[in-house]
Structure 1
Amino acid sequence: MHICHIVLNNLGGAPKVADSLISSQVKAGYKVSTVVLTILDPRWKVSFKAAQIVIVMKIAGTLFYIGRAIHQIWVAIQLNRIIAEQKPDIIICHSAFITKLFYLSQFIPGSLSIPYISYIHSDYISESQTERTTNPISELINNISISITSRIDLQALQQSNGLVFVCKALYQRFANIGFKHRRIVISYNPAIDDINNQPLHPIAKSWFDNSQLIAFVCASRFHHQKDHKTLLKAFAKVSENHLNIRLILLGDGELETELKALATSLAINNIVLFAGFVSNPRAYFSQSRVVILASHFEGLPLVLVEAVASGVTFIASDCPVGPRDIFEVLKCGTILPPSDVDALAEAIIDHVKTPQQKIDRSEQITQFFSETSCANQLESLIEQVVSQSV
């Protein structure tokens, strides 16, 4: 059997999971190919352990809505050509967006009729509501665009031969808007070990080595979704009475300059480290007091699972999808309302005042978040889909 995975890029959690699934399928003897829709970022070690094809697809936010739609149709045409050359037995689309592109590609005359599974890693519903503008005309056009796009997205998901949701809350989010499907699997993404022994940032290392300091870590890209502003404001509030705390931010992104300016204006730039992108976050997690995630929305934030796998607990916003699932499954951590500076500050203070305890949830992580479990559930779904498509 030839399985083809379609991913957007090699950045973040979804490609990391796809890479794990691809590796498992290759080991199981399947022929596996990978279609990547953007250029691979060389900083990330996700390599996709199978044949790969790259389509350059620059979806710039500056494109006008109509231009963006035309560009996506162009990509769907290119995708159709690639799939025709590959001739796989089944397609795995690693997002609702990619599912839509593949769905559109099937309307091209002469396209192959290939069953496809949509693998939903993120809170697509929240994502689709984030793009806003203050211009009334642009806002109207944007709302119409979102409405049309959402209908196509949901139709593409509905026509899929199977759906994988990475947690129960994500499935429920779709169910709440009336979405139904005959073949649904809920499969937690695997917690994958770091494979890089990159040295710690020297400042971070000095903080970890100082027994008088308490270091907190946040690992997420600098994007509005991750709400670093609330984290920095809460941290500044705590630092007024707790001079021994430090914050290490792992990652990079479009808001880095803005966030550094905010840290300076809050007078915490000397106790907040922007450590940049790192390929071994668990090395930081294991030496931190707590890992913090303040997002407005998530899919299944594996950073929290990886924190617990490293022996520490977490503080996370109780956004619509993700953190609560992990909180309930692993029976540890603190969840609090999103965008609540005071609640986050209080949670940080609780951990400053409480001696650190190492967390051991190895059994639960093996049971719910293992690579084997994730791969087996997808393999079972693939076999069902292919057997009924023959």
Structure 2
Amino acid sequence: MSLDVPTAEGVANDDTSRGKVPDANARYHVAFYIPSMGVGGAQKVTATIANGLVEAGHRVDIVVSYGGGEFTDALDDAVRVVDLETPRLPFVGVLASVPALRRYLNEEQPDVLIGAMMHANVVSVLADAASGAETTVALTEHNTVGVRHGRKEALTARIAARLYGSADSVIAVSEGVANSIATELGTDPESIAVLYNPIEVDDIAAAATHPIAEQTPAREWLSDPSLRVLFTVGRLEAAKDLPTLLRAFARVHDERPETRLVVAGTGSKRDELESLASSLGIRERVCFPGYVENAYAYMGRADAFVLSSRHEGLPTVLLEALACGLPIASTDCPSGPHEILDGGELGPLVPVGDDEALAEAIGKVLDDPVEDARLHSRAEDFSVQAVTTAYESFVASLVDDR
């Protein structure tokens, strides 16, 4: 790459790791950079892909700015964690990791460096541009470009957009995300690869049979064969558009008094949602259990899963619902639901914000659900094995094209 970037020595300490011995017989050396391995969707995905790649015989490093984190414990012993020991500097954040990541690239010379999320993408491009390594850099985009909110996120997005053209490739987690990158940022479509996030299909299906831990009305509803229970889980925030779901459920309940709704998750909108449920006259028919220990146990017992989001990237909850054999009704939001549900063949898709259409879709799912076998078969397309194979092919193409 030919990007002039100033460097500053001594901003980060020398690399440290868990002491893994590199595998000299590994076909490729793949490094993922992510600020930390704490709780988060990107961290879970990174751990799962890393484990899949080492199991397939590749050498894998996960490079972090800040050590520790819950998902470190989920890694295969063969995955090496490299802690850049980045100082926490005000107003600088993970950008302070650039010098240490540059040194890592020069010393370790991985075949491919994958930035695992937005902030990591910026650091990855800057560090590579300042290094003399021949490493190929790929950046990961989890969200549809153009729907970010907040001043800080918007600034980061603008910076990343300017740097995307300097990367060798961009990984999009769905076709919709890929299209948004090409149209909104002007990125060459040929440099964009669609690689889905993986799920542990068999583990999810097994967890769906476990008992529900929380003592809430939802537990009683899900064990009552006379009731039809709708389920959703996620952050109780504006992007999920749960008011539309509540209004849709109110319509459904008017015609089907045996229905109930469980809205799992935490967030700043909970009080507003409970107030809306009360004003709609459905408060006693809606349960907000908060954080649940095992959402799959709810999925395994519910009659339908409903997604009302305004926007997504690749909604993992839909993949998990498929793995549980749970019929789905969803908004046709950008992006993910359309391709996950095969254009509506595996579950109805409705316009964002249309509670009447969503209510109709819910009724359709309750009356004529898609067969479990078809749903589970689609989930297999997102299995760890399938996604690992796709990543192997992707890495091979990057290295072979160098």
TM-score (norm. length: structure 2): 0.77
Q: Are the counterparts in 1 of residues 109 and 134 from structure 2 also a CA contact under 8 Å? A: no
What residue number does 1:100 align with?
122
What residue number does 2:372 align with?
359
- CA distance in structure 1 between the aligned counterparts of 2:397 and 2:282, rounded to whole angstroms: 55
Which is further off, 305-314 or 8-17? 8-17
User: Within 5 Å, which residues of 2 pair with 1:174-213?
Assistant: 174-177=181-184, 178-193=186-201, 194=204, 199-200=211-212, 201-202=214-215, 203-213=217-227
Q: Tell me how far 1:157 sits from its aligned partner.
A: 2.1
CA spacing shift, 1:320–1:330, aligned 2, 3 Å: closer
Alignment deviations for residues 155-189 of structure 1 (CA, whole Å, 9 cap, x no partner): 33222222222222221222223321544322333
* Structure 1, unaligned runs of 5 or more: 60-66, 132-141
Match for 2:391: what amino acid? Answer: L
What residue number does 1:33 align with?
61
User: Within 5 Å, which residues of 2 pair with 1:284-323?
Assistant: 284-323=298-337
Q: Are the counterparts in 2 of residues 157 and 163 from structure 1 also a CA contact under 8 Å? A: yes
- CA distance in structure 2 between the aligned counterparts of 1:379 and 1:21, rounded to whole angstroms: 10
User: Within 5 Å, which residues of 2 pair with 1:1-390?
Assistant: 1-7=28-34, 9-36=37-64, 42=70, 47-49=74-76, 50-53=79-82, 70-77=92-99, 79-80=101-102, 88-106=110-128, 112=133, 114-127=135-148, 130-131=149-150, 142=151, 146=154, 149-177=156-184, 178-193=186-201, 194=204, 199-200=211-212, 201-202=214-215, 203-328=217-342, 331-352=345-366, 354=367, 356=369, 358-361=371-374, 362-366=376-380, 368-389=381-402
What percentage of residue pairs aligned between the two structures are identical? 26
Q: Are the counterparts in 2 of residues 286 and 310 from structure 1 also a CA contact under 8 Å? A: yes
Q: Are the counterparts in 1 of residues 236 and 266 from structure 2 also a CA contact under 8 Å? A: yes
Q: Tell me how far 1:122 sits from its aligned partner.
A: 2.2
Q: Tell me how far 1:210 sits from its aligned partner.
A: 0.9
- CA distance in structure 1 between the aligned counterparts of 2:277 and 2:80, rounded to whole angstroms: 44
SS of structure 2 residue aligned to 1:249: strand
SS of structure 1 residue aligned to 2:226: coil
Alignment deviations for residues 110-151 of structure 1 (CA, whole Å, 9 cap, x no partner): 675532112322223322xx33xxxxxxxxxx59x94x6444
Q: Tell me how far 1:319 sits from its aligned partner.
A: 1.0
Q: Tell me how far 1:265 sits from its aligned partner.
A: 4.2
TM-score (norm. length: structure 1): 0.79
- CA distance in structure 2 between the aligned counterparts of 1:55 and 1:275, rounded to whole angstroms: 39
- CA distance in structure 2 between the aligned counterparts of 1:351 and 1:216, rounded to whole angstroms: 10
CA spacing shift, 1:322–1:383, aligned 2, 3 Å: same
CA spacing shift, 1:111–1:264, aligned 2, 3 Å: farther
Match for 1:164: what amino acid? Answer: I
Q: Are the counterparts in 1 of residues 98 and 124 from structure 2 also a CA contact under 8 Å? A: yes
Q: Tell me how far 1:264 sits from its aligned partner.
A: 3.9
- CA distance in structure 1 between the aligned counterparts of 2:236 and 2:108, rounded to whole angstroms: 36
Q: Are the counterparts in 2 of residues 170 and 321 from structure 1 also a CA contact under 8 Å? A: yes
Match for 1:120: what amino acid? Answer: E
CA spacing shift, 1:343–1:307, aligned 2, 3 Å: same
Q: Are the counterparts in 1 of residues 346 and 370 from structure 2 also a CA contact under 8 Å? A: no
Q: Are the counterparts in 1 of residues 327 and 365 from structure 2 also a CA contact under 8 Å? A: no
SS of structure 1 residue aligned to 2:261: strand
Q: Tell me how far 1:79 sits from its aligned partner.
A: 4.5
Which is further off, 379-388 or 205-214? 379-388
Match for 1:168: what amino acid? Answer: E
* Structure 2, unaligned runs of 5 or more: 1-27
Q: Tell me how far 1:11 sits from its aligned partner.
A: 4.0
- CA distance in structure 2 between the aligned counterparts of 1:255 and 1:168, rounded to whole angstroms: 30
Q: Tell me how far 1:20 sits from its aligned partner.
A: 2.0
SS of structure 2 residue aligned to 1:125: coil
CA spacing shift, 1:80–1:322, aligned 2, 3 Å: same
